[in-house]
Amino acid sequence: MAVNPLFSEATAFGVLNNFLSEFHNDNGYALPSRYEVLISAPGGAASQNTRKINLRCESISMPGMNLSSTIDSSMYGVQAEVVDGVSFADTIAMTFQSSGDLEERIFFERWQEQAWDRETWNIKYYKDYTGTVDIYILDINNNKKYGIKLYECYPKTIEAVPLDYARATDIIKINISMQYKYWDTLDITANPKSLVEKLFDTQKTGIERIISANLPKVLSRLG
């Protein structure tokens, strides 16, 4: 006779009725079409109508984060794969609908020109051409439910725009690859650490791991 397994809780947590009621309330689902973008550009680009540019953002990719890991050989028994660093995506894709005077393209051209001098071809200081980009997820009532800020951004690439007679009614789209250094959540209650603090914590953890790896195995077992 088969023996049925026993569980600490016999009743399922996510029964269908509860599931349906949960996602039919005001909070509901997060929709990819409900978002807001706020761009803060440096220098000459910042003098343009950034509000109009923000509203013309037809699509944007929400950036991700990757934890790199390695096997911790200092552990006794089953060895775990532990985190040894964090990395962010190099760029995010942004698409803007273009107005009749191509103001959107001009905006990003001027931003790129903050990075180099047209007369001397010299490269300018990093802080002079980097800005920020905020991305918010909105609910159906346009309330901000989630937000992230991309730091030290600049438009790395303004993609080529194909022109032809066949698409006479299409809108010209400006595709941008936005470079950034890192991102953080926008939540005033979270009180996130500064980048310097994060780097210090990462370095400290790495030093601790090196010390642990060089301890005799008998001491590692005692720990």
pLDDT at 217 over 60: no
Q: Determine the 3-state secondary structure of 55 from DSSP.
A: helix
Domain count, the chain: 2
Is 41 in the same domain as 149?
yes
The number of helices, as runs of H, and strands, as runs of E, in the chain is 6, 9
Q: Which amino acid is at 94?
A: M
Domain span holding position 198: 193-223
Give me the pLDDT at residue 79, please: 87
Is 54 in the same domain as 67?
yes
Is 198 in the same domain as 171?
no
Is 186 in the same domain as 197?
no
Is 127 in the same domain as 223?
no
pLDDT in tens, 191-213: 555 555 555 554 544 555 444 44
Is 144 in the same domain as 202?
no
Q: If pLDDT is split at 50, 70 and 90, which confidence band does 76 have?
A: confident
Q: Is residue 146 part of a domain?
A: yes
pLDDT in tens, 4-57: 777 666 666 556 566 566 556 666 788 999 999 999 999 867 777 889 999 999
Are 82 and 167 in contact by the 8 Å Cβ rule? The answer is no
**CATH (domain of 110):** 2.30.110
Q: Is residue 202 part of a domain?
A: yes
Is 88 in the same domain as 175?
yes
> Which position has the token pair 């997820």?
137
**Region of poorest pLDDT, from 9-23, 61-75, 127-141, 205-219:** 205-219
Q: What's the rounded Cα separation, in Å, for the pair 154 and 178?
A: 6
